[in-house]
């Protein structure tokens, strides 16, 4: 009947062809340091930048030991010198258990929430709370289920369930409720099941390997598992890591169903946050929770304005604060929201709290090495000459532009059914796509034919900004 059909329906297979976009820093696997924190020249996708990587390594160790919660780091350097790469390297080395949140400075400007709310949420996403779930379960392979139905057809059913592990076997008397849930889960001899002692909830883990040959025809979705070992009644402990922001969200959900739909929470009331903080601190006192200060990475930090900076200053002093890593490519420039100039566009009082790591431009050998790594990452093969010319392009224009040329040249190469990218392919895309310098040159030459031609003003404006 209908119920049976629903049960036998093959689960929907979702096989969406994965179109993987390759991120600009997808090749970074860590900071590339040895056990003594000495940077290797080329390792884990990192090239050069030895001093900054070593500095990042020291900070990494401090984060791991939990020594520098509530401190901040600034990575400063020219565009394309590996600032984001270093931050990614730190994130990769922290491992999956330490929360890492990354955002770009401009991301916090939105109509849905205020700047400080966006920053608060980012801060709280970067703080993990480790908690433990403990349950008593009965886990075993079903040897036999015997259910006696009363002859009259009505009245209480009684039954017996025999469970075993590799070490023991025992018989349980079954009440009405257990019989119902066993038949609802369609449990039969040969299944490996767990029963939650507190709630009586039954879960099927799969079929025992020893019963694999019982039936010739079995659904493809049948999963085979080993007969459990050890005692029947076990204590199961699971450690979870959740972020403070996630706890905030479930506790502010009662305020509106909107949150459930969009996954977007809007603003979270400060009372909710205070309550959560109090609860989490109470758990920590009771030994029920561990707080893991993670890392919040703000790229392009010069995009923040004076309000945000003053918020950061205060937020860093909270005892539930992550390590803040910021990156900027600006020199002495105006602080947004003010008329004052300051190094990196960051107010002096905040700068004073920062550990500053500088990155410097890559030399020719390093540039070549990075391009080679990117080629491997994007699965593109280059001839020796093509590599040389690409390196030259990178040095004369920018590393980012050269990296862009890799995949475009590969397309051209594929079009002519080649397997290796030649110099000609690179020349072709170099002619097709302008780099920044040639683009400005072009604009200057043809400025009269552009709409809203205010080049001179524009250039003037640029100069005052930068």
Partner 1 sequence: MDPDSERVLQYLTEVEEAAEDVLATKQQIVDLDTKRNKNREALSALRNEFSDSEKVKVCFGNMFIKFPAAKTKEMIQRDQEQLDKEINDLRNGLKAKVNRLNEIQGKPELRGYSLTSLSADELKAVNSLLKR
Site for partner 1, rule CB under 8 A: 97, 130-134, 167-168, 170-173, 198, 230-233, 235, 237-242, 246-247, 250, 283, 286-290
Give the residue with the Cβ less far from partner 1, 285 or 445: 285
Question: Is residue 194 within 8 Å of 203, Cβ to Cβ?
Answer: yes
To partner 1, the closest distance from the beta carbon of 240 in angstroms equals 5
Give the residue with the Cβ less far from partner 1, 139 or 425: 139
Give the residue with the Cβ less far from partner 1, 2 or 260: 260
Which are the contacts of 426, defined by CB distance < 8 A and separation ≥ 6? 386, 389, 390, 393, 405, 409
Q: Specify burial of residue 382 (Cβ count, 10 A radius: 0-12, 13-18, 19+).
A: buried
Give the residue with the Cβ less far from partner 1, 261 or 452: 261
To partner 1, the closest distance from the beta carbon of 135 in angstroms equals 9
The β-bridge relationship of strands 158-164 and 169-174 is antiparallel
Query: What SS3 state is found at 336?
Result: strand
To partner 1, the closest distance from the beta carbon of 55 in angstroms equals 25
* Helical pair 115-125 and 244-252, crossing angle rounded to 10 deg: 120
To partner 1, the closest distance from the beta carbon of 130 in angstroms equals 5
- Compute the C-alpha angle 115/120/121, nearest 5°: 100
Which uninterrupted H or E stretch holds 37?
A: none
To partner 1, the closest distance from the beta carbon of 69 in angstroms equals 17
To partner 1, the closest distance from the beta carbon of 2 in angstroms equals 28
Give the residue with the Cβ less far from partner 1, 232 or 399: 232
To partner 1, the closest distance from the beta carbon of 177 in angstroms equals 16
Q: H helices of 258-383, where?
A: 258-262, 270-285, 306-315, 348-351, 364-377
Give the residue with the Cβ less far from partner 1, 212 or 239: 239
To partner 1, the closest distance from the beta carbon of 3 in angstroms equals 26
- The C-alpha atoms of residue 374 and residue 400 are separated, in whole angstroms, by 11
* Helical pair 364-377 and 399-415, crossing angle rounded to 10 deg: 40
To partner 1, the closest distance from the beta carbon of 91 in angstroms equals 18
Give the residue with the Cβ less far from partner 1, 86 or 232: 232
Q: Specify burial of residue 14 (Cβ count, 10 A radius: 0-12, 13-18, 19+).
A: exposed
Give the residue with the Cβ less far from partner 1, 233 or 447: 233
Query: What SS3 state is found at 247?
Result: helix
To partner 1, the closest distance from the beta carbon of 10 in angstroms equals 24
Question: Is residue 49 within 8 Å of 361, Cβ to Cβ?
Answer: no
Tokens of 127: 């703080």
Give the residue with the Cβ less far from partner 1, 151 or 198: 198
- The C-alpha atoms of residue 72 and residue 68 are separated, in whole angstroms, by 8
- Compute the C-alpha angle 176/182/184, nearest 5°: 100
Give the residue with the Cβ less far from partner 1, 41 or 176: 176
For the chain, state the CA radius of gyration.
30
Question: Is residue 323 within 8 Å of 61, Cβ to Cβ?
Answer: no
- Say how many Å lie between the first and final Cα of the chain, rounded: 73
């Amino acid at each position: 009947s209908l119920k049976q059909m629903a049960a036998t329906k093959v689960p929907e297979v979702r096989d969406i062809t994965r179109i993987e976009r390759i991120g600009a820093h997808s090749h970074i696997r860590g900071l590339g340091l040895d056990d003594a924190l000495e940077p290797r020249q080329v390792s884990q996708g990192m090239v050069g930048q030895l001093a900054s990587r070593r500095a990042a390594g020291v900070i990494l160790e401090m984060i791991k030991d939990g020594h520098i919660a509530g401190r901040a780091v600034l990575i400063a350097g020219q565009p394309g010198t590996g600032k984001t790469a270093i931050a990614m390297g730190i994130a990769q080395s922290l491992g999956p258990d330490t929360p890492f949140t990354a955002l770009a400075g401009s991301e916090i400007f939105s109509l849905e929430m205020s700047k400080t709310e966006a920053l608060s949420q980012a801060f709280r996403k970067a703080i993990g709370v480790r908690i433990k779930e403990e349950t008593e379960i009965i886990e075993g392979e079903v040897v036999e289920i015997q259910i006696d139905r009363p002859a009259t057809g009505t009245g209480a059913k009684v039954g017996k369930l025999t469970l075993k592990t590799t070490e023991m076997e025992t018989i349980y008397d079954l009440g009405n409720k257990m019989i119902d849930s066993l038949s609802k889960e369609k449990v039969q001899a040969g299944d490996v099941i767990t029963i939650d002692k507190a709630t009586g909830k039954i879960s099927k883990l799969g079929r025992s390997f020893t019963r694999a040959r019982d039936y010739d025809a079995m659904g493809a979705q049948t999963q085979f598992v080993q007969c459990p070992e050890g005692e029947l009644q076990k204590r199961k402990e699971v450690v979870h890591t959740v972020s403070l922001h996630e706890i905030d969200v479930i506790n502010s959900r009662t305020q509106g169903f909107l949150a459930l739909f969009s996954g977007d929470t809007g603003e979270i009331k400060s009372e909710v946050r205070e309550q959560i903080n109090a609860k989490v601190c109470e758990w920590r006192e009771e030994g029920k929770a561990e707080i893991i200060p993670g890392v919040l990475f703000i790229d392009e930090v010069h995009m923040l304005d004076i309000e945000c900076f003053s918020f950061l200053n205060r937020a860093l002093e909270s005892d539930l604060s992550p390590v803040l890593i910021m990156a900027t490519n600006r020199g002495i420039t105006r602080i947004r929201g003010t008329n004052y100039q300051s190094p990196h566009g960051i107010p002096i009082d905040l700068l004073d709290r920062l550990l500053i790591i500088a990155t410097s431009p890559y030399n020719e050998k390093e540039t070549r090495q990075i391009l080679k790594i990117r080629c491997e990452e994007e699965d593109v093969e280059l001839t020796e000459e093509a590599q040389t010319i690409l390196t030259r392009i990178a040095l004369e224009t920018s590393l980012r532009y050269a990296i862009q040329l890799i995949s475009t040249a590969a397309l051209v190469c594929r079009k002519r059914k080649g397997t290796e990218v030649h110099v000609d392919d690179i020349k072709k895309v170099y002619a097709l796509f302008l780099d920044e310098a040639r683009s400005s040159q072009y604009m200057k030459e043809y400025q009269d034919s552009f709409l809203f031609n205010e080049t001179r003003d524009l250039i003037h404006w640029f100069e005052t900004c930068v």
